[in-house]
Amino acid sequence: MNSIDNECVWHPYARIPNEVQTHTVKSANGVYLTLDSDKKIIDGMSSWWSVIHGYSNPTINSAIKRQVDKMSHIMFGGLTHHGAVELCEKLIAITPEGLNKVFLADSGSVSVEVALKMALQYWHNKGQKRKNHFITPLGGYHGDTFGAMSVCDPDNGMHHIFSGILPKHFFVKKPTIGNTKDALVDLRSTLKNHHNEIAAMILEPIVQGAGGMNIYESEYLVGASELCKQYNILMIVDEIATGFGRTGKLFGCNHGDISPDILCLGKALTGGYMSMAATLTNGDIAEGVGVLMHGPTFMGNALACSAANASIDLLLNSDWEENIRRIEKILLTELTQLKSDKSVRDVRVIGAIGVVELYDNIRMEETQNRLIEMGVWLRPYGKLLYTMPPFITSNKELYKITDAIKTVVREL
C-alpha cells in the first residue's frame, strides 16, 4: 500500500509523489492510533483539532448506527429532517445571543465562504455596493478555498502564490499579548479611512490557528467589536478551531463576551467523526441577505447531524470546563520549562492548546519519527511544535505528550 500511497495519493500540503513519509493507521480507539506495525501512539493533534471525545466513542457510534438504519442522507432543498432541526436548535442555544439563523455547510472553508457571501450580499441588497472588501488581522488563517484564501495572511500564509489573482482586502496589525492597544489603533485608523469600502471584519477569536498558533488578549476582541459597530461594518468570527471548549470557554468569543454578526463553526462540531460546518447569523443579517445562493449537495447530512448532536450533548453533559483547566494546568506546568532553552523563542498555552515556538524551522519527518518512537503523534510545521489533545486525554497521557515535546526540543 505504501508504494501506491507515495506515488498516487496526494496528501495535504505536500508534493506528489510524497517526499515525506506517511504512516498507515489501521485502527483508532480513545486517544490512540494503532499503526500497521501494531505500535500504538497517542494522537496529540485530535486529528487536526476535531476529535475532542477521542476515537470510537460509544455514544457517537451508537447515534450514527441508529441514524444509518433510518437514512444516511437526503437533499436539503425542499426537504428537512429532525436531526438537522435539533442540531440548529442546539447551536442557537449555546452560541452568543442573537445568532438564531443557521446555515449548515459541509466544511470549515465552506462555512467561511458562506459568511463572506452573506456579508457581501447584505450590503449589496442595502444599496451599498462599494462595501465589497474585508478587513482582517495579519497572521490569520480561514481555509483553502478561493474566498477564504483571500482573507488569510498574504505574506506569511500558505497562499502567496495566488496573491496576483485573489481579491485584495485590508490587513491590519496582528494582535499579540502586550500589543492590544497598538493593534486597535491600527484597526481604528484603517476603518476610519476605508469603512465605506469594507463589508466585514473577519478574525479568529483569542487564538489564530494555522497561521501561527498566536494567542492574544480578550481586550482586542472587545475593542474590535466596538469599532465594527462604530464604523458600520459586520463582524465575522471564525470559531472553526476555537469552538466547543478548546480555549477554556465554550467559544473563543466568550472570552470577550461579544456577539458577532456572523459565526463560523466546524472541526469539533461532529466530534471529528464527519465533515460538517455551520454559519450562524442574526435576523437582521438574514433579512438583508434574502435568498442566499449557496447549496452544498451534502448540506444537513443526516449522519453528520447525528454525530454533531451526540457530540454536543456529550460535551455539555460533562464537566468540560474543569477538564480543560486540568489539561491547561499540565500543559502550562510542563511546557513552560522549555522557555529557558536556547532554541525556544516562546511557549504559549491556553485551554487545551500548548505551543512551543522555536527560532529555527523543525525538520518535520525526522521529528515525527522521533515522536512516534516515544509513542506520540504530533504534526509540527514551520517553527512550531504544538499539541491540541482530545479532551479525554488522561494526565498520564498528557505527561507522555509533554515529555516527548521536551525531549525533541532538547535534542534539537
Residues assigned a catalytic role: 13, 141, 238, 267
Pairing of strands 376-377, 344-350: unpaired
Q: Are strands 262-265 and 25-29 parallel, antiparallel or unpaired?
A: unpaired
* Alpha carbon distance 140, 296 (integer Å): 25
Task: For residue 6, give the C-alpha cell.
Answer: 507515495
**380 preceded by a cis bond (ω within 30 of 0):** no
Tell me which DSSP letter residue 158 carries: S
Sign of the dihedral defined by the CA atoms of residues 132, 277, 141, 354, in that order: positive
* Nearest alpha-carbon partner for 205 in 148, 251, 171: 251
Helix axes 82-94, 302-316, angle to 10 degrees: 40
| 248 within 8 A of 328, measured Cβ to Cβ | yes
Cβ atoms of 231 and 266 closer than 8 Å: no
- From CA 136, how far away is CA 211, in angstroms rounded? 13
**What beta strand segments (E) does 173-276 contain?**
198-203, 207-208, 214-215, 234-238, 262-265
Q: What are phi and psi of 146, to 5 degrees?
A: -65, -50
- In angstroms and rounded to an integer, the radius of gyration of the C-alpha atoms of the chain is 21
Half-sphere exposure of 180 (CA within 13 A, CB side): 13
CA distance linking residue 386 with residue 356, whole number of Å: 6
Question: Which parts of 146-186 are beta strand (E)?
Answer: 170-172
Task: Give the position of cell 476582541.
Answer: 221
CA atoms in the 13 A half-sphere facing the CB of 303: 14
Reported as type and span, the H/E element at residue 28 is strand 25-29
Grid cell listed for 241: 478551531
